[in-house]
Amino acid sequence: MASSCPSLSIFSSPLSFIKPLQASMLAFSPCRREVTLLPRLNHHHHQQYRQRYQKEKNHPTWIRRSSSAGNGGFFFSDNIETVRSPTDIAKHFYRSINGKDLYQLEGCFADDCVFEDLAFPFPFQGVQAIENFLKDLVTAMGDNVRFVLQNIEGDLTGNSSTAAVIWHMEWKGKMIPFTRGFSFFECQTNGEQLVIKKARIVVESPIKPGKFVLELLKIVTSIFDKFPDLTEKFLQKPYAVIQYMNKIYKATMEPFIVPILIYYSHIWELLMNSLKHFIALVVKIIMTITTKK
């Protein structure tokens, strides 16, 4: 009986040594939803695959690249791409997101990486929190949304190792409004691998307040100048002040505001249902008149 698994040859290509081992690792990865059946390999082949895999995994200029579909709409790597600079890893980061390659994204970050998306109140700290966020991101993007890099610049002067990216998002090649953004990556060498240690993402706001921002800035700076001591304490721990104000809101205002919002939501639902029945009645009357004629 013919086997459904492809035949293996350790001399077919330079990558043939690492493909079976990589596939066996992905088969039991928590990102996959089912186990992939692999052909039985002898001990000699296992040693060859393991040695070749470890050698390429630890190489300072190599990182894996997506080219084949995996389970659940995500992709897993079977090719190799050269990463020599921060701009390379920034390109690789967005290419992996566009390809839904979760396995690739795992190797992009340092263990203590901080990922700060300014659309969120708090940064994502640690690899696990970042991976969970990126998994939600690639799921929300669906099958047709892609990041398009407009410009990318890197800096390797002195001890600096950074990359800056200007991007926007497209759906089937057409730009989506209010999806322009800017990303800044700080990189470091983790052992022999280049990884991201800090990322900051700024996304275009759909609200365009215009001159109101300048007026608001004028008010805030005047308050800061009048109360410098309080301002210094606030700027040292701004998130702590926000959390404190949130607690005050929940203790004083929330018990009164939430019932009012619920009440008005029920009223709005009643109005929408009434409007729907009214439109249905008008359509029925028009159809009755036309049929009689």
Residue 171, pLDDT score: 92
Residue 271, pLDDT score: 82
DSSP 180: -
Q: C-alpha 214: how far from its chain's center?
A: 31
Residue 161, pLDDT score: 87
CB 113 within 8 A of CB 187: no
Is the pTM for the entire model greater than 0.75? no
Residue 220, pLDDT score: 85
Q: Residue ranges of the chain with pLDDT lower than 70? A: 1-83, 156-160, 238-241, 244, 249, 292-293
Residue 160, pLDDT score: 67
Measure the N-to-C terminal CA separation of the chain; round to a whole number of Å.
Answer: 73
- Measure the CA–CA gap between 278 and 272, rounded to whole angstroms: 10
Residue 77, pLDDT score: 39
DSSP 7: P
Ordered by where they begin, the domains of the chain are 9-57 (no CATH), 61-203 (3.10.450.50), 213-252 (no CATH)
- Kindly state the greatest CA–CA separation across the chain: 88
Which of 11, 18, 114, 10 is closest to 59 using CA atoms?
18
pLDDT in tens, 79-122: 445 557 888 889 989 998 998 887 877 778 888 899 999 888 88
Residue 293, pLDDT score: 62
